[in-house]
Amino acid sequence: MRHDDEEPVLPTPRGPVSAAVKEYLMGAGPLPRPEVVAAAGAYGSDLQLALYLCYELHYRGFAGVPSEHEWDPELLRVRAALEHRFLSALRADTPVHDSVEDALAELLVEPVQGEGVSHFLSAEGELWQLREYAAQRSLYHLKEADPHAWALPRLVGRAKAGMAAVEFDEFGGGRADRVHARLFADLMTDLGLDTTYGRYLDAASAEMLVTVNLMSLFGLHRALRGALVGHFAAVEITSSPGSRRLAEAMRRTGAGAAAEHFYDEHVEADAVHEQVVRHDVIGGLLAEEPHLAPYVAFGIDATGYVEDRFAARLLGDWRAGRSSLRTPDLGEISLIS
């Protein structure tokens, strides 16, 4: 097992685009040609992994990859082409509400009993399914608050103060042992999973890569700051009821105290965050920049769209009795409990 401070290793490619990007990062080959990028599916494993490789240079990077690649002009041109494919597909496929108010109201509508992942895991999920869920979500939760922090220098007044207040909680209120990413790592330990950052990248589905890349896409572009605020709102407002069900799932399966605590913490914290996000972050942003309302609505709805795709993948696999992972190897505990 690697230590937390070590850089992640480059993953196995999933097609010609991600293979070429990996080879370029290793100094062993050219970047993919434009026609190769254009032929890749917008939500497919190949394009999404290539985009993840580009984005990860802005987080912890990769072992053996020079830090200078973060701002490599040629790589940025390829990243822009990948982003264009991804963002164009999202704009075409996401049903967007007419107003921010309508989009926020939709967030409060609970899924039909049994249709959501948290409903399934709470009522009938088995330990192997909880482990798969945590392994895939680790790509998201081990850096969940980081891309949202990119919004701070792009906001002013109430919106900045509200975002900073919620982010302060996400980063543990000044205590390293309370950082939410650390709490998720503790959950993973209870489930017998490797807590190394990026450990389950090869196992993660394309649908999971899409959800992770979405917040990096929004976070890295000032022009999409409204969409990032919408993503932030969607995460915080929907978290509390789902976390309550996931805490119940951890208790029912005997997953462990830390596994329960991560979700119990979010039941309480995110119920408070919801009000701050609504009134201060969104309210403050739109008071200063009302023209960003369509972007906020898009961010909310695109988040729901990609999360629904991920949920459909999980539930489809699990109800068919198969693993949701590309490489179903989670280590010490057997997948099938």
Same domain? For 82 and 114 the reply is: no
Q: Is residue 301 part of a domain?
A: yes
Same domain? For 60 and 101 the reply is: no
Residue 334: band (very low, low, confident or very high) from pLDDT cuts 50, 70, 90: very low
Same domain? For 178 and 88 the reply is: no
- Per the structure, the complete domain to which residue 204 belongs is given by 97-319
Mean pLDDT, range 78-96, rounded to an integer: 97
Q: Is residue 9 part of a domain?
A: no
Helices 225-253, 100-107: inter-axial angle, 10-degree rounding:
10
Same domain? For 102 and 88 the reply is: no
Same domain? For 126 and 190 the reply is: yes
Q: Is residue 8 part of a domain?
A: no
At position 170, the amino acid (one-letter code) is: E
Residue 328: band (very low, low, confident or very high) from pLDDT cuts 50, 70, 90: confident
Q: Is residue 334 part of a domain?
A: no
Same domain? For 111 and 71 the reply is: no
Find the CATH number of the domain harbouring 308: 1.20.910.10
Q: Is residue 330 part of a domain?
A: no
Q: Of the residues 45, 65, 92, which one is the last residue of a structural domain?
A: 92
Same domain? For 53 and 121 the reply is: no
Q: Of the residues 74, 92, 110, which one is the last residue of a structural domain?
A: 92
**Of 334 and 191, which is predicted with more confidence?**
191
Same domain? For 131 and 207 the reply is: yes
Domain count within the chain: 2
Same domain? For 186 and 291 the reply is: yes
Q: Is residue 294 part of a domain?
A: yes
Nearest Cα to 118, choosing from 237, 249, 208?
Answer: 249
Q: Which pLDDT score is estimated for 110?
A: 64
Mean pLDDT, range 159-180, rounded to an integer: 94
Q: Of the residues 43, 64, 92, which one is the last residue of a structural domain?
A: 92
Mean pLDDT of the chain: 92
Cβ atoms of residues 188 and 134 within 8 Å: yes
Q: Is residue 283 part of a domain?
A: yes
Nearest Cα to 223, choosing from 99, 80, 93, 95?
Answer: 80
pLDDT tens profile 112-156: 555 799 999 999 999 999 999 999 999 999 998 999 999 999 999
Q: Is residue 79 part of a domain?
A: yes
pLDDT above 80: residue 3: no
Same domain? For 259 and 147 the reply is: yes
Q: Which pLDDT score is estimated for 273?
A: 83
3-state secondary structure of 96: coil
pLDDT tens profile 212-261: 999 999 999 999 999 999 999 999 988 888 999 999 999 999 999 999 99
Give the helix ranges, DSSP H, for 220-323: 225-253, 257-276, 283-288, 293-319
Q: Which pLDDT score is estimated for 336?
A: 31
Same domain? For 157 and 288 the reply is: yes
